[in-house]
Structure 1
Amino acid sequence: MALADRTGAAGERTEDGTKGGRLGLPQAVALVVGNIVGTGIFLLPASLAAFGTVSILAFGIVTLGALALAVVFGRLGRRLPASGGPYAYAREGFGEFPGFLNAWSFWITAWAGNAGIAFAWVGYVVYFADAAFGLDWSGVPAQVVIGLTGLWIPALINLAGVTRMGLFQLVTTVVKFAPLVFVAIVGLFFVKAGNFGPFNATDGSWIGALSVSAALVLFAYSGVESAGIAAEKVSDPERNIGRASVYGTLACAVLYMLGTVVVFGTVPHDRLVNSTAPFADAINAMFGGGVWSVVMAALAIVSGLGALNGWTLLVAEMPMAAACDGLFPKMFTRMRGGNVPWVGIVVGTALTSATFVLAFAAENAFTTILLLAAFTTVVPYLFSAAAQLFWLTTDGRRAAGGHLAWNMALAVVALLFSFWMIFGAGADAVFQGTFMLLVGIPVYIWVKASRGEYGPKETTHIVTGELR
Structure 2
Amino acid sequence: MPAATALVIGSIIGTGVFALPSALAPYGPISLVAFAAVTVGALALAMTFGALSKRTSSSGGPYVYAREAFGEFAGFLNAWSYWITAWAGNAAIVVAWVGYVEVFVNTSHQVGGSVLIALVGLWIPAAVNLTGVRNTGAFQVITTVVKFVPLIFMATIGLLFVDPDNFGPFNASGQSTLGAISAAAAIALFSYLGLEAASVVAGRVREPGRNVPRATVYGTLACAVIYILGTLAVFGTVSHGALGSSTAPFTDAANNIFGGTWAGNTVAVAAIVSGIGALNGWTMLCAEMPYAAARDGLFPAAFARTRGTSGVPIFGIVVSTVLASLITVFSYTRFDDVFTKIVLLSVLTAVIPYLFSAAAQLYWVLVRGRDGLTLGRLVRDVTVAALAMAFSYWSIQGSGYQTVYYGLFVLLLGLPVYVWLKRTRHEGEAPDGPAPAASDNSSGSAAPVLPGPRAPETTPARLSGRRTTVVRFRRSTRRDQH
Q: TM-score, normalised by structure 2?
A: 0.87
SS in structure 1 at match of 2:308? coil
Partner of 2:321: 349
Which region of structure 1 is more displaced relative to structure 2, 322-331 or 395-404? 395-404
Question: Is residue 87 of structure 2 the alignment partner of residue 111 of structure 1?
Answer: yes
1:327 counterpart (298, 304, 324):
298
What are the Cα deviations for residues 2-60 of structure 1, in whole angstroms up to 9, with x where unaligned? Answer: xxxxxxxxxxxxxxxxxxxxxxx000000000000000110010010111111000000
> Structure 2: where are the runs of 5+ without partners?
432-482
Which region of structure 1 is more displaced relative to structure 2, 109-118 or 444-453? 444-453
Contact 2:255–2:262 under 8 Å retained in 1: no
Provide the rounded CA distance (Å) in 2 between the counterparts of 1:237 and 1:397.
24
What are the Cα deviations for residues 238-297 of structure 1, in whole angstroms up to 9, with x where unaligned? Answer: 111100000100000000000000000000000001100000000011011231111100
Question: Is residue 339 of structure 2 the alignment partner of residue 363 of structure 1?
Answer: no
Question: Is residue 68 of structure 2 the alignment partner of residue 99 of structure 1?
Answer: no
Question: Is residue 28 of structure 2 the alignment partner of residue 28 of structure 1?
Answer: no
Partner of 1:298: 269
Offset at residue 337 of structure 1 (A): 1.5
Offset at residue 454 of structure 1 (A): 10
Within-5 A mapping of 1:164-179: 164-179=135-150
2:420 counterpart (433, 436, 446):
446
Offset at residue 450 of structure 1 (A): 1.1
Provide the rounded CA distance (Å) in 2 between the counterparts of 1:249 and 1:48.
21
Provide the rounded CA distance (Å) in 1 between the counterparts of 2:61 and 2:96.
27
Contact 1:128–1:298 under 8 Å retained in 2: no
Partner of 1:245: 216
Q: CA RMSD in A?
A: 1.3
Question: Is residue 374 of structure 2 the alignment partner of residue 374 of structure 1?
Answer: no
Provide the rounded CA distance (Å) in 2 between the counterparts of 1:270 and 1:391.
49
Counterpart residue type for residue 342 of structure 2: I
Offset at residue 136 of structure 1 (A): 3.8
Offset at residue 190 of structure 1 (A): 0.2
Partner of 2:401: 427
Counterpart residue type for residue 304 of structure 1: G
Partner of 2:438: none
Offset at residue 204 of structure 1 (A): 1.9
Offset at residue 367 of structure 1 (A): 0.6
Partner of 2:445: none
Counterpart residue type for residue 261 of structure 1: L
Offset at residue 453 of structure 1 (A): 6.2
1:391 counterpart (349, 353, 364):
364
SS in structure 2 at match of 1:128? coil
Partner of 1:57: 33
Provide the rounded CA distance (Å) in 1 between the counterparts of 2:149 and 2:373.
40
Partner of 1:20: none
Partner of 1:47: 23
Contact 1:283–1:289 under 8 Å retained in 2: no
1:87 counterpart (63, 67, 89):
63
Counterpart residue type for residue 398 of structure 2: G
Question: Is residue 100 of structure 2 the alignment partner of residue 124 of structure 1?
Answer: yes
Partner of 1:70: 46
Contact 1:266–1:282 under 8 Å retained in 2: yes
Offset at residue 207 of structure 1 (A): 1.2
Provide the rounded CA distance (Å) in 1 between the counterparts of 2:232 and 2:152.
13
Provide the rounded CA distance (Å) in 2 between the counterparts of 1:417 and 1:96.
25
Contact 2:18–2:250 under 8 Å retained in 1: yes
Provide the rounded CA distance (Å) in 2 between the counterparts of 1:305 and 1:291.
22
What are the Cα deviations for residues 191-244 of structure 1, in whole angstroms up to 9, with x where unaligned? Answer: 011111111111221211110110111110000100000011111011111000
What are the Cα deviations for residues 345-388 of structure 1, in whole angstroms up to 9, with x where unaligned? Answer: 00000000001100112131111111111100100000000000
Contact 2:123–2:321 under 8 Å retained in 1: yes
Offset at residue 398 of structure 1 (A): 2.6
Provide the rounded CA distance (Å) in 2 between the counterparts of 1:113 and 1:313.
13
Partner of 1:340: 312
Which region of structure 1 is more displaced relative to structure 2, 306-315 or 391-400? 391-400
Partner of 2:374: 400
Counterpart residue type for residue 357 of structure 1: V
Following TM superposition, where does structure 1 have runs of at least 4 consecutive aligned residues deviating by more than 4 angstroms? none
Provide the rounded CA distance (Å) in 1 between the counterparts of 2:383 and 2:371.
16
Contact 1:53–1:196 under 8 Å retained in 2: yes
Provide the rounded CA distance (Å) in 1 between the counterparts of 2:281 and 2:116.
21
Counterpart residue type for residue 417 of structure 1: F
1:163 counterpart (131, 134, 152):
134
Partner of 1:411: 385
Instruction: Among all aligned residue pairs of Structure 1 and Structure 2, give the percentage whose two residues are the same amino acid.
Output: 56
Provide the rounded CA distance (Å) in 1 between the counterparts of 2:102 and 2:122.
16
Offset at residue 404 of structure 1 (A): 1.1
